[in-house]
Amino acid sequence: MKMGAFWENIFVETAAHYSVVILCTIVFLAIFELVTSYKNWEEIKKGNFAVAMATGGKIFGIATIFRYSIEHNDTLLQSIGWGVFGFVLLLAGYFIFEFLTPTIKIDKEIGSGNKAVGFISMLISVGLSFVIGASIR
């Protein structure tokens, strides 16, 4: 079997995309962890549902962006590039949400367990991921 044929095998392509998306999700969640005042997994372990919703929204958002980037690009490298670009836009959306709500400290509210703010944060991540994904070519 030639190497070209190996990389064009649908099972190999699927495993490659899967592996890259898992790795990128871990890296992107670590970046989100750096920009929040709370520790996502510690709060989730304590049962903080607001953090769980916000984190779940981020995971869903990242996955949705990669779903579109895989669908609309021919190479793994192109998919990664669009996925990273989409993540940067998703991260910007997080900061815009914080900026546009000056009377509510989003980060603090989620960290303290405010489920309403966690829910809105989740929906913003999900909604933005569809808009970002739809724009990927």
Distance CA 108, CA 31 (A): 17
Q: What is the pLDDT of residue 4?
A: 66
The pTM score is 0.89
Domain boundaries, the chain: 3-135
Contact status, residue 118 vs residue 110, Cβ threshold 8 Å: yes
Q: What is the pLDDT of residue 70?
A: 93
DSSP string for residues in 48-78:
-HHHHHHHHHHHHHHHHHHHHHHHT-SSHHH
Tens digits of residue pLDDT in 65-119: 999 999 998 788 999 999 999 999 999 999 999 899 989 999 999 999 999 999 9
Phi, psi of 103 (to 5 degrees): -85, -10
* Mean pLDDT taken over the chain: 92
Cα of first residue to Cα of last residue in the chain, in angstroms, is 32
